[in-house]
Structure 1
């Protein structure tokens, strides 16, 4: 696994994108790249996201909650264990998110996602 503090040669921090809707994943990826980040993924499933994280530790992550029949909580647990901050970009109600302790206190940007607000939030995470 790469050094968690590693920033690529162009000075970009790596952000994992976990989103199963192709068009939304493409929109998030484009916004992150335009915002100066390097994107890991996007991953459309829990297994794919966990595989990506096992290969490279991102600086931060953007997670959708519902991924075609599965919840993103295993990815959130792995990121938390690694000390990787994450943000949700999900249409799920706060009451459903509150049922998952790993998501307590995590910002949810909602859907549709205000991309400028998302980029600003990610920039606020430590490198």
Structure 2
């Protein structure tokens, strides 16, 4: 696994994208690249996301909550264990999110996602 402080040769930090809707994943990926980040993924399932994280430790992550019938909580738990900050980009109501302790206090950018707000939030995470 790469050093979490490692930044690529172009100075970009790596952001994991976990989103099962292809068009939204493409939009998030494009916005992150335009914002100066390198994208890990996108992953459309919990298993794919966990595989990506086992190969490379991202600096931060953007997670959708519902992934084709799966909840993203196993990914959130793994990221938390690794000390990787993350935000949600989900249309799920706050009360449903609050039922999952690993998501307590995590910012939800909502859907549709304000991409500028998302980029600003990710830039706020320390490298």
Shorter-normalised TM-score: what interval? Answer: over 0.9
Task: Report the Cα distance in structure 2 between the residues aligned to 1:99 and 1:35, rounded to whole angstroms.
Answer: 32
TM-score calculated relative to the size of structure 1: 1.00
Q: Which consecutive residues of structure 2, in runs of 5 or more, have no partner in the other structure?
A: none
Structure 1 segments, 4+ long, off by >2 Å, are none
- What's the CA shift for 1:100? 0.1
C-alpha deviations, 1:45-102, integer Å up to 9, x for none? 0000000000000000000000001000000000000000000000000000000000
SS in 2 for 1:77: helix
Task: Report the Cα distance in structure 2 between the residues aligned to 1:10 and 1:125, rounded to whole angstroms.
Answer: 18
SS in 2 for 1:15: strand
SS in 2 for 1:102: helix
Task: Report the Cα distance in structure 2 between the residues aligned to 1:12 and 1:28, rounded to whole angstroms.
Answer: 16
Task: Report the Cα distance in structure 2 between the residues aligned to 1:97 and 1:69, rounded to whole angstroms.
Answer: 15
Q: Which consecutive residues of structure 1, in runs of 5 or more, have no partner in the other structure?
A: none
C-alpha deviations, 1:14-44, integer Å up to 9, x for none? 0000000000000000000000000000000
- What's the CA shift for 1:4? 0.4
Task: Report the Cα distance in structure 2 between the residues aligned to 1:95 and 1:69, rounded to whole angstroms.
Answer: 18
Task: Report the Cα distance in structure 1 between the residues aligned to 2:69 and 2:107, rounded to whole angstroms.
Answer: 22
Cα RMSD of the aligned pairs, angstroms, is 0.1
SS in 2 for 1:9: coil
The number of residues matched between the two structures is 127
- What's the CA shift for 1:107? 0.1
